[in-house]
Structure 1
Amino acid sequence: MPLQLKEIERVKTISKKDFYTNFVKKQKPVVVEQLTSDWPAYEKWNLDYIKKMAGDKTVPLYDDRPVSFKDGFNEAHANMKMADYIDLLKSKPTNFRIFLYNLMKEVPLLKKDFKWPELGLKLVKQLPMLFFGGENSRVFMHYDIDYSNILHFQFNGKKRCVLFAPDQTPYLYKVPFSLISREDIDFDNPDFDKFPALKQSQGYVTELKHGEMLYMPEGYWHYMKYLTPGFSMSLRAFPRSIVKLSKAAYNVFIMRHFDNFMKKRKGQEWIDYKNEKALITTNKNLS
């Protein structure tokens, strides 16, 4: 039995009014297929181009190892020259990913390749973040710490995107004092015997291709699997409601620091406690 997932609505193009009225206000995801068709990036952005422009830059890499008490918040697992990393991506499947990387700060010329979309969102005009991954690499199920509205653009290849609205949190085995679900859940092939609440969850899925943009509303859970080597760019806008802004502030200024403090104090015992708590609490709510 697979997860209950319905295809995310798709449009070729969309007006600012329709996007805001039908998707931002209703907090519904959507894929806009041709938003980037007039960007220089649409023709230029592939792995070879990034290698040419940024091959000498040292980049932080992450893999799919479980959270450890030894790791700091978003601490990289390895470093590599971008040229070597892209050669690795093209040569074989790898779990190494680049996560939340401000490449345009390192290579300002890349800023000329994209346009800020006019879709009714007040996008944060800091330099966009880029994400890279190899074939079959995965980004575990999580939601973003700041509850932003996210415009997620895919380049060079395809990725599978699974989303859940915030109201599905009771079924997703959320780890307390964290932004993630249990990391031992395989969202491509979930174990419903071990995680029965997942059978109650209702989410969305799409296969995002080169040049397409996925809108992820505030606080949406997302899981990504790179079907081919590729990379993405995210633009973001802060949440519109005071409630979600307050939750974002709590995450950034209280929860994150408390979790780091407990990891330092309790070590792996704290990680194990949180994972067990996620299991017990979610299954208890189910019954």
Structure 2
Amino acid sequence: MSEASLSDNKMSATCSLSEELRDLLPQTKEDFKLDFSEKVEKSVVVLLHQARELFYEGKKNECLKTSEIIRDYSWEKLNTGNWRDVDKEWRRVYSYGCLLKALCMCLKTDDIAEAIRVCDMGLLMGASILGNILVKVVNVLQKHLQHGKRPSETGIEELSKKKTKSDHTLTPAVKLGTAVPQLQCPSLEFFRKNYLVPQKPVILEGIANHWPCMKKWSLDYIQEIAGCRTVPVELGSKYTDEEWSQSLMTVNEFISKYIVNKNDIGYLAQHQLFDQIPELKQDICIPDYCCLGNGEEEDITINAWFGPAGTISPLHQDPQQNFLAQVLGRKYIQLYSPEESEFLYPHETQLLHNTSQVDVENPNLIKFPKFTKASYQSCILNPGQILFIPVKYWHYVRALDISFSVSFWWS
């Protein structure tokens, strides 16, 4: 193909991208609403209006510079003090800055991958704007992104077999007397009466077999759908370790560094990936048993847990009921009733008050002597199984293989 033809194709693709993005936006600047409360400084609102004017006037360079100022300033607001105290208005400001910057970038510089990263930052740190437009923009951008070579064409099962030979990960024995009971598709009433009301853990079988993720999900599929997306990754074996930290990276980078080439422990943990990437959400289903709760379906928090063998969630408890669905790999889990709390030595700090100080698989009984009195249940959660973890039930989780789990927190 001649250079002229390549240039024509690129120009045609750019025009097509421009048209698709404009179709997502309000037709006029007046319809591009910028309504904020008094909590957002007037000077920032003025900047947002200026950026909007510049964009609709086609002044991409000036709009890009203004949107970067908006992002930088609102970023400081997001990172001052405790995250829970950050006002939603400032998160919206940040999202608008990300939207305008991403639009200008891909229309001006044709750097689609970086524009997607900017949108993801808005989705991760910002708040929904203009009918969740950032998700729609990313969907358009991904269609125009030329995928490079993936880090791996190896399946998860093949990788797991290789790692089993080299890692010598031992599968813990589950004693018969401590095993979590298993049920095959119990009725709603049976589950409510025998497990939800008395708050007893149980493994549900035959519930997730028909979910598309059970057949579709593999390293290749996850990279195809989400490879270019930016996600938060926990670095370190468990969050109670002093060297534990977090880092932002693309899913491709995460898989390459921590799944295919296991240099260290990295864990995509407790992340609302399915809100960020709705295409993956289509592959899972909310368990029917969640309807027994008091909240609405939109109140259910769905989190992704994706990582190599060896990732650990220390013994801790959560403030909501939990269905933990295992999609890929296996996990070893220990469960302790809230009645055992006096033997579990919770951390005294407010930040970790819901986490035990005890390493349950290698306890320091000199430091924590009462731990020997704690009774527990255990299981190995296999693909297709769903574990019901009652509210405030202590649980310890260790991945035995490359693993992908989905948790549903409900009230």
The TM-score, its normalising length taken from structure 2, stands at 0.52
Paired residue secondary structure (2:259): helix
Matched, 1:224 2:393: no
Residue 183 of structure 2 is aligned with which of 4, 11, 23? 11
By how many angstroms is 1:214 displaced? 0.4
1:151 alignment counterpart: 323
Counterpart code for 2:363: P
Higher helix fraction: Structure 1 or Structure 2? 2
* Equivalent pair of 1:129/1:233 in contact (CA under 8 Å): yes
Residue 365 of structure 2 is aligned with which of 188, 192, 196? 192
2:259 alignment counterpart: 89
* Equivalent pair of 2:174/2:378 in contact (CA under 8 Å): no
Residue 337 of structure 2 is aligned with which of 165, 168, 176? 165
Unaligned runs of 5+ in 2: 1-172
By how many angstroms is 1:127 displaced? 5.6
For the structure 1 residues 7 and 52, does the alpha-carbon distance in structure 2 shift closer, same or farther, using more than 3 Å as the test?
same
Paired residue secondary structure (2:178): strand
Residue 77 of structure 1 is aligned with which of 219, 228, 246? 246
Question: Post-superposition, which runs of at least 4 consecutive aligned residues in structure 1 deviate over 4 A?
Answer: 2-5
For the structure 1 residues 48 and 210, does the alpha-carbon distance in structure 2 shift closer, same or farther, using more than 3 Å as the test?
farther
By how many angstroms is 1:236 displaced? 1.8
2:272 alignment counterpart: 102
Which has the higher mean CA deviation after the structures are superposed, 6-15 or 81-90?
81-90
Residue 211 of structure 1 is aligned with which of 384, 398, 406? 384
Which has the higher mean CA deviation after the structures are superposed, 118-127 or 47-56?
118-127
1:134 alignment counterpart: 308
In 1: Cα distance, 2:325 partner to 2:185 partner = 14
Aligned length: 228
Paired residue secondary structure (2:282): helix
Residue 354 of structure 2 is aligned with which of 150, 167, 179? 179
Higher strand fraction: Structure 1 or Structure 2? 1
Higher relative contact order (CA 8 A, sep 6+): 1
In 1: Cα distance, 2:303 partner to 2:396 partner = 17
Paired residue secondary structure (2:309): coil
Aligned CA-pair RMSD: 2.4
In 2: Cα distance, 1:10 partner to 1:192 partner = 32
2:292 alignment counterpart: 121
By how many angstroms is 1:3 displaced? 11
CA offsets 1:152-185 (integer angstroms, 9 cap, x no match)? 1111100111111111110001112321111xx3
By how many angstroms is 1:237 displaced? 1.5
For the structure 1 residues 55 and 214, does the alpha-carbon distance in structure 2 shift closer, same or farther, using more than 3 Å as the test?
same
* Equivalent pair of 2:180/2:202 in contact (CA under 8 Å): yes
* Equivalent pair of 1:39/1:113 in contact (CA under 8 Å): yes
Query: Which has the higher Rg, Structure 1 or Structure 2?
Result: 2
1:278 alignment counterpart: none
In 2: Cα distance, 1:193 partner to 1:46 partner = 44
Paired residue secondary structure (1:130): strand
For the structure 1 residues 149 and 132, does the alpha-carbon distance in structure 2 shift closer, same or farther, using more than 3 Å as the test?
same
